[in-house]
């Protein structure tokens, strides 16, 4: 019962098992995205050495000139290019820590969809502003997809408290729903007052980041009918901003009472599976005393 669960098998994306390195990468959407971005950066470095700076970006980066030349693949390919190791590291760090929770909740296919939709929306919004300003610049980086993944995490767990260490010393505790609102406001401010300013000269693509957040919201609406978000009714955003539910994916113990007949092995097995899923997603510390007692009794019965 426990050994047949994904996170207990050796080929699960989070550990080294019988699948080896290839199994680890291919079994996880997040690991695959990280591996592709790292490999592409190496190819970029080689391309610069052999053909000069900008040769690789001319083909795969997003730009108004490229779209004018029918290079429509650049709407997606730009998200796997980066300016250097630091650019790559920052994006992949955020993608890993937010994306692994999204993938646990949504699965591999939907995680890929969220990343691609976020990158596409980010690229479209950036391209629109570049066209309006008459710029010939190009866009590279997974930032739109990464910010979209982080936004989707905030939608999944709006009230789960997060703690950040400012300067690795001062703890800052914040709820994901507040962090998402702050992110959206910051990116909108940067786009309007820095990126779009005639003399702003900002090298940060705030519009792409904001587009990534919009892509996450769009993904949530598209996947709502058959995903962790439930029915997809108009009350979705009302639930996020003002609802009392603490998570769209895993119901908390206080949200509903439960009673298990320990003499009914099927009912007990079903309840144990629910508790194990909760423990995998939220950690052992999230279990109530009653749930711990059920696990303790079940080990002698099942």
The pTM is what? 0.69
154 near 180, Cβ under 8 Å?
yes
Structure letter (DSSP) for residue 192:
I
Give me the mean pLDDT over the 178-193 stretch.
91
Q: What average pLDDT does the structure give for the chain? A: 77
* pLDDT reading at 12 higher than 60: no
* pLDDT reading at 4 higher than 70: no
In angstroms, rounded to a whole number, what is the distance separating the alpha carbons of residues 140 and 130?
14
Distances, alpha carbon 225 to alpha carbons 222, 240, 277, in Å: 7, 16, 22
* pLDDT reading at 141 higher than 60: yes
More confident residue, 183 or 289: 183
pLDDT tens digits along 48-102: 888 877 788 888 999 989 998 999 999 999 999 998 899 999 999 999 999 999 9
Q: What is the pLDDT of residue 285?
A: 63
Which distant-in-sequence residues (6+ apart) come within 8 Å of 232 by Cβ?
221, 224, 225
Q: What is the pLDDT of residue 195?
A: 82
Give me the mean pLDDT over the 223-228 stretch.
53
What is the DSSP secondary-structure string of 48-73?
HHHH-TTHHHHHHSEEHHHHHTT-TT
Q: What is the pLDDT of residue 218?
A: 92
Give the rounded distance of the alpha carbon of 206 from its chain centre.
18
pLDDT tens digits along 236-287: 444 554 544 433 434 344 433 344 444 566 777 777 778 777 776 666 666 7
pLDDT tens digits along 166-178: 666 667 788 888 9
In angstroms, rounded to a whole number, what is the distance separating the alpha carbons of residues 252 and 275?
11
């Amino acid at each position: 019962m426990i050994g047949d669960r994904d996170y207990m098998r050796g080929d699960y994306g989070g550990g080294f098992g019988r699948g080896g390195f290839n199994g680890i990468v291919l079994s996880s959407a997040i690991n695959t995205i990280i591996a592709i971005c790292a490999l592409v950066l190496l190819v970029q470095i080689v391309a610069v050495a052999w053909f000069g700076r900008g040769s690789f970006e001319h083909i795969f980066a997003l730009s108004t000139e490229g779209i004018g030349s029918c290079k429509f693949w650049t709407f997606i390919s730009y998200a796997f290019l980066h300016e250097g190791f630091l650019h790559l590291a920052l994006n992949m760090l955020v993608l890993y820590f937010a994306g692994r929770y999204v993938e646990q909740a949504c699965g591999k296919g939907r995680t890929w969809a969220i990343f691609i939709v976020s990158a596409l929306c980010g690229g479209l919004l950036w391209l629109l502003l570049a066209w309006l300003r008459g710029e010939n610049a190009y866009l590279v980086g997974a930032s739109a997809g990464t910010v979209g993944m982080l936004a989707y995490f905030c939608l999944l767990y709006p009230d789960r408290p997060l703690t950040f260490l400012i300067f690795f010393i001062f703890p800052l505790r914040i709820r994901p729903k507040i962090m998402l609102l702050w992110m959206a406001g910051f990116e909108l401010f940067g786009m309007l007052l820095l990126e779009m300013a005639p003399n702003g000269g900002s090298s940060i693509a705030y519009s792409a980041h904001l587009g990534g957040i919009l892509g996450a919201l769009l993904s949530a609406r598209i996947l709502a009918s058959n995903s962790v978000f439930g029915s997809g009714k108009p009350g979705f955003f009302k639930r996020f901003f003002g609802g009392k539910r603490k998570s769209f994916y895993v119901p908390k113990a206080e949200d509903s009472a439960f009673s298990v007949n320990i003499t009914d092995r099927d009912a007990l097995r079903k309840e144990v599976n629910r508790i194990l899923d909760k423990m995998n997603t939220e950690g052992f510390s999230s279990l109530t005393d009653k749930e711990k007692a059920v696990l303790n009794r079940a080990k002698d019965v099942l």
